[in-house]
Amino acid sequence: MSQIARIYPLPVPRTTAPEPLWREVLGRRLRRLRLHRRETLLETAEKAGISPQYLSEIERGRKEPSSEMIAAVAGALGTNLLDLTEQVTAELRHSILTAVPDPAPDPRTAQTSGPARQSSPVSLSLAA
């Protein structure tokens, strides 16, 4: 004799915004530092010994620069690798801590037992 078991899929939770990538936060920070100094891409790139195109890609978060490149750009912008790293880390920490989490389900409207209304069951046939 066989029995039919019904399995209901779990509801898919809403996703929060993904964490920003290190290279994106680094790029934004470098751009702010450069603009604060009122320098063009060309001026900063020449000081750092890299091409303006590469600096632009770093600032837009498109490239993952080596630590040597980051140090060169930091030096061209009047800072050092340690200070820049601390600034980027603080910005990452702030973005994670201020991210809005998914709201908890309202216990008055949440179902305590049985399947979710929008889910359709999956039938399995089990042989005894």
Q: What is the pLDDT of residue 97?
A: 79
Structure token pair of residue 73: 């750009």
Give 28-40 pLDDT, tens digit per residue.
999 999 999 999 9
> Nearest-CA neighbor of 37 among 4, 63, 65, 76?
76
Three-state DSSP class for residue 55? helix
Residue 40 Rama label (left phi>0; alpha psi -120 to 50; beta): beta
Residues 6+ apart with CB under 8 A from 102: 13, 14, 16
Structure token pair of residue 43: 């001026």
Give 52-87 pLDDT, tens digit per residue.
999 999 999 999 999 999 999 999 999 999 999 999
Q: What is the pLDDT of residue 84?
A: 97
Amino acid at the residue 99: A
pLDDT at 46 over 70: yes
pLDDT at 128 over 60: no
Q: Which domains occur in the chain, in start order?
A: 22-95 (1.10.260.40)
Give 94-122 pLDDT, tens digit per residue.
888 777 555 555 555 545 444 444 545 55
